[in-house]
Amino acid sequence: MQGATTEMTNAAEMQQRVEQFAGQVVTDLAAAMAGVMTNLGHKLGLYRAMAESGPVTAEQLARRTSTNERSVREWLHGQVAGDYVRFDAHSGQYTLPPEHAFVLANPESPAFLPPAFDVAASLWHDEDEIFEAFRSGKGMGWHEHNCRLFSATEAFFRNGYRAHLTQSWIPALDGVQERLAEGGRVADVGCGHGASAILMAQAFPKATIVGIDYHESSIAVAKERAKEAGVGDRVRFEVGTARVLASRDEKFDLICFMDSLHDMGDPLEAVWAARQALAQDRALMLVEPFAKDTPEENGRSYSEDVLLGFSRALHAERVVAGRTVRAWRAGRSKAVAGNREGGGIPKRSGCDGDTVQSDSGGKGVEQGSGSLDVSRVGAIPL
């Protein structure tokens, strides 16, 4: 009799746990579907129009944005259900609260998130290739992804760089800001569309800035962006892998990997090559996703969940120059280990920043890309 009761309790508990977990998956599913609507809200200018207008009816919003009223009404209902938008049943008006506008409607804000949905969209687009990569173990190169990834990455990271790169990250490195103010040379490795290189060229007009990326079409866009920003003559963009650093005569005062080291097939070789190209006493700066090295350290955190999802899909494993290496998601300890193996680099000092954390490898600056706390900067003066 007691056995039967225990079995029933176990079955009830199991059912409860299944329901709870199913609820969690349905929430994720809702987010995946609602992501398309968020992206549309951004691209159709619906959020921006709401931010500018204040409380608005569906009809007014459709008119302001030259969109179909019925579709906009449905969209608004979804936005209310997702708690992105507030609805006043009495007036029939919808409102985008100012703090939501900061995240959804202000492209200059460091917390502006819509471009991240295009990163997610590019991964769905590449699902078949990623499927194959899981089977073959060959992984996918950055250049093999859907092109939405490239512009979305630029737009997603750029505002964080705008808010922090020249204001707090570079000043946190011993003597680097002073050197660049007088002249000096910077290599931005894995520069993508050049957002960070352009910011440095704007902040340090006397310095020579070189952006390097193996992805030819990203370099072409970076050159255009530099021209548009009026610094085309102050920043040089080159197609090449991180490895080229090792064999060039030019030495740099600062070499940075801005959210790029984890994308490189052989990050240890990249850091080793950077070491060869650094002028004496100068600095290597890593800006990396803020996820930790092990599942137990990561726990259940939403931002780490997102980052690890990207990491699985984007990096997996690569074949680079005939060698298969496991690409990685940089936790701080790996970045430091990478440096040790990459050339026996002594750590002379840490640096200060918004929040300083110490670990087995010394001190590093830990900062969010914007307020999201998704990036980590490890500064390792050499």
Ligand X SMILES: C[S@@+](CC[C@H](N)C(=O)[O-])C[C@H]1O[C@@H](n2cnc3c(N)ncnc32)[C@H](O)[C@@H]1O
Q: Which residues bind ligand X (CB under 6 A)?
A: 142, 153-154, 157, 189-192, 195-196, 212-215, 218, 241-242, 258-260, 263-264
Is the CB of 172 or the CB of 242 nearer to ligand X? Answer: 242
- Residue pair 246/240 in contact (Cβ under 8 Å)? The answer is no
Q: Which residue is nearest to ligand X (CB)?
A: 192
**Whole-Å CA distances, 232 to 1, 74, 216:** 83, 45, 17
Is the CB of 154 or the CB of 253 nearer to ligand X? Answer: 154
**In the complex, least distance from residue 206 CB atom to ligand X, rounded to whole angstroms:** 23
Is the CB of 273 or the CB of 283 nearer to ligand X? Answer: 273
**In the complex, least distance from residue 332 CB atom to ligand X, rounded to whole angstroms:** 18
Is the CB of 126 or the CB of 259 nearer to ligand X? Answer: 259
Residues in the chain: 382
**In the complex, least distance from residue 176 CB atom to ligand X, rounded to whole angstroms:** 18
Is the CB of 51 or the CB of 330 nearer to ligand X? Answer: 330
Spatial distance between the Cα atoms of 203 and 315, rounded to a whole number of angstroms: 32
- From 249, 174, 165, 155, select the one nearest 203 (Cα to Cα): 165
Spatial distance between the Cα atoms of 138 and 7, rounded to a whole number of angstroms: 47
In sequence order, the 6+-apart residues with CB closer than 8 A to the CB of 140 are 126, 129, 130, 133, 314, 316, 318
- From 302, 304, 311, 303, select the one nearest 329 (Cα to Cα): 311
**CA atoms within 13 Å, Cβ hemisphere of 113:** 17
- From 228, 349, 88, select the one nearest 96 (Cα to Cα): 88
Spatial distance between the Cα atoms of 334 and 43, rounded to a whole number of angstroms: 38
Is the CB of 47 or the CB of 157 nearer to ligand X? Answer: 157
- Got the DSSP string for 307-341? HHHHHHHHTSEEEETTEEEE-----HHHHHHHHHH
**In the complex, least distance from residue 89 CB atom to ligand X, rounded to whole angstroms:** 43
**In the complex, least distance from residue 375 CB atom to ligand X, rounded to whole angstroms:** 10
Q: Give buried/exposed letters for 55-68 (b at 16+ CB in 10 A, else e).
A: ebbbebbbebbebe
**In the complex, least distance from residue 191 CB atom to ligand X, rounded to whole angstroms:** 5
Is the CB of 288 or the CB of 366 nearer to ligand X? Answer: 288
**In the complex, least distance from residue 268 CB atom to ligand X, rounded to whole angstroms:** 12
Strand 375-381 and strand 86-88: the pairing is unpaired
Amino acid letter, 142: W
Instruction: Give the orientation angle of helix 302-314 with respect to helix 114-125, to 10 degrees.
Output: 40
Q: At which residue do the structure tokens 């599913």 appear? A: 29
Is the CB of 239 or the CB of 356 nearer to ligand X? Answer: 239
**In the complex, least distance from residue 368 CB atom to ligand X, rounded to whole angstroms:** 15
Is the CB of 139 or the CB of 381 nearer to ligand X? Answer: 139
**In the complex, least distance from residue 195 CB atom to ligand X, rounded to whole angstroms:** 5
